[in-house]
Amino acid sequence: MNRMRLSGDDLFDRLMGGYSRPVVELRTEYHRQLGEIDAAVMRMFTMVEEDIGATAAAFLHGDEMAAATVEGHDEVIEDLYAKIEDLVHAQLVRQAPVAGELRFLLTVFRILPELTRTHALAADVSRRGATGLAEELPPRVVGLIGQHLDAAARMWHQVTQVYLVGSGKIADDTEDDDDALDELHASLSAELAAADLRSPVLLEMGLIARLLERLGDHAVEVARHIEALERPGRAPSQPAPAE
């Protein structure tokens, strides 16, 4: 008796009852989009880290190119925000995710505003610093601002690691650094009050001191949201794959 040979597609359909292929394809696309969201969020984290480093150069050295680099991220950050928001909304509506995937999507929604606000803070400080403001400040004040920016850069590096690894200990370390940043803010405020500065410079520096403190506040908020996050395809404490 002659037997008809089945193609791979026909065999799949026969074995799965003819109904599962669309479901499998839908789930494959779903997980592809989760990975796309994850990659876009990581890019935002990387850009925020870069922004803070460039802000230090812009303020401490009046580096206009560094300030322009931060400002140049505005459109990219906005586009990433819109893309991620659309993708997350689509997954919530179409896929009805549960458990770890639902936590991942909701956490992304919560941290997006923190990332964009941090970029905006860095852009504001770098723009003001590129005018050469540091030249009118006492060395002690300039040094404290440098320490502020170093601490903020350290915190945001740690927060990026929290996102990669999901380690609660790193989140705790971030809160410890925020306490140290608060102490720096108090010292900076005291130095500014004692310094002989022109009124416009003093007012400008009062605002900048607050902006610098908020860089740490946003890092702590992000760390709290993501310390136990399960990212797509990775357990909470499993290290990220090597590049």
pLDDT at res. 171: 59
Domains in the chain, ordered, with CATH? 19-226 (1.20.58.220)
Q: What's the whole-number mean pLDDT along residues 112-122? A: 96
pLDDT at res. 232: 56
Q: What's the whole-number mean pLDDT along residues 1-19? A: 46
pLDDT at res. 160: 85
Claim: this prediction has a pTM higher than 0.75: yes
Give the distance, in angstroms, between the CA of residue 66 and the centroid of all CA atoms in the same chain: 19
